[in-house]
Structure 1
């Protein structure tokens, strides 16, 4: 299955979960309302996801006067990638990390933390920025934001199903409890699967844009070594945004790979080392 087809399949699964919970809460009418809600959520995510995420992260926009080296590097890499110049933001966080957002290449933004700028040399920073530009070129930013929106809606409906006790004759309170537990879990797993698929593709294209693999490999190693030790408060408050970052920004305990929002750093570096540029 191609990456694009897999993404559409996963997105359909999220919508189906949302509709199933709508049926559990309100029968056929609830299912139809859930479908409408999914459509509205997609439209909202399309037009407002970048601004909402940047605002939630406390990002500050910079330009050629306030951050000349960073903006010049982004401009050079965007030109190599064949992309319009994205907006550039800096996050007031000591955790080294970065993400890209925007509904399409013409409305895109790249955000890096202060910790990232302090931690990486130019080649490593170029590797990270190229990775984020690869997400923009692949239109991953919209996919992940819509997935996060629907996953949040599913979690909300799961909680509603618990309080309403589900439909009569459909398991009552037990069905509501199961919905609360398993529907958000399933939605989260789908969202994580989309992220894992996309990260490998963005790593490969990012290395191509940067013209070498070593910078990104070294950057991933450095970021992963300290990201779990330095809290990222905005991401902790909005865990659904974790999949947007180049490395999982959450400080949770180590879990089985099934529950990670990203592939393991070791797997990503091994894949990069196999590339011939």
Structure 2
């Protein structure tokens, strides 16, 4: 099913590339845009994970530089039956995380320093398990490719507005302005068509991987609260990558929340609470990432944690 969804998404985004090209440059513009769209599909397939990580200045870590985080991801990946993904840290105070990569063998998970500072060990485990669930469900290809192409559509529309045709070939400025405004929204709507059920599925599987639905529910609540208070400037500069994160990292200014790629956090928490009852997980299960009385596995907020 995910293969079909991926093909539909890529086809829709490629077609949108063509429509934008036609509105900005007529038939020749459409052909150029379609060619660019096909090339972008191929480029995004092979490079979108690196682009997403680079956009957020993620730094790869290992057992030496972040032993607790890497050890946690290794254990969770073993539970999920997955190869060990690469692990990255993002020096950003907003609590958040995402997964990327075209396949489980080429996957990576990234967490912000804010996530490690603000959440407990069990909550971090729930978040990492959610990201591994995306990898196991092969959602990461759809997430990274759609983010790359949606961002490219926005760039194409802006480029067309600034450098449209000359003389008689120049498109109607009203049409150009409408295209610049509406094309990115259309790309985001296409992302939304697939992404919302994906988050519920990853929540459920992630809770089963870590064995703690209530810890993941608590993590979602904390992250949502942090996002509301702490801006993520890299995400604001690259809004097409918002769908990658466990919680939409955008602050909600302007149009950010109108076309959110994520379900309401309250609904996700309610679904996890229902799952906890199904699993009998109201009490801490054996094998969870219990951390005693400490609120964070990385020490007090004054410490830099396992990234340095």
Fold shared by both chains (TM-score > 0.5): yes
Deviations 1:51-85 (A, max 9, x none): 22222212222111222211111011101111100
Partners in 1 of 2:198 and 2:167 — Cα distance? 38
Q: How does 1:111-260 map to 2 (within 5 A)?
A: 111-163=110-162, 164=164, 172-253=172-253, 258-260=258-260
Q: From the CA coordinates, give the structure whose radius of gyration is larger.
A: 2
Higher alpha-carbon deviation: 260-269 or 162-171: 162-171
Partners in 1 of 2:45 and 2:5 — Cα distance? 20
| Distance change (3 Å), C-alpha of 1:110 and 1:130 | same
Partners in 1 of 2:160 and 2:90 — Cα distance? 37
Q: Secondary structure at the match of 1:274?
A: helix
After TM superposition, give the deviation of residue 155 of structure 1 in Å: 1.9
| Distance change (3 Å), C-alpha of 1:165 and 1:157 | same
Q: TM-score, normalised by structure 2?
A: 0.81
| Distance change (3 Å), C-alpha of 1:125 and 1:65 | same
| Distance change (3 Å), C-alpha of 1:170 and 1:235 | closer
Q: How does 1:89-104 map to 2 (within 5 A)?
A: 89-104=88-103
Structure 1 unaligned regions, length at least 5: none
Contact 2:143–2:243 (8 Å) recurs in 1: yes
Higher alpha-carbon deviation: 149-158 or 12-21: 149-158
Contact 1:24–1:167 (8 Å) recurs in 2: no
- Note the aligned Cα RMSD (angstroms): 2.5
Q: TM-score, normalised by structure 1?
A: 0.89
Deviations 1:124-179 (A, max 9, x none): 11110000001111222221221122212322332344453799799833322222
Q: Secondary structure at the match of 2:111?
A: strand
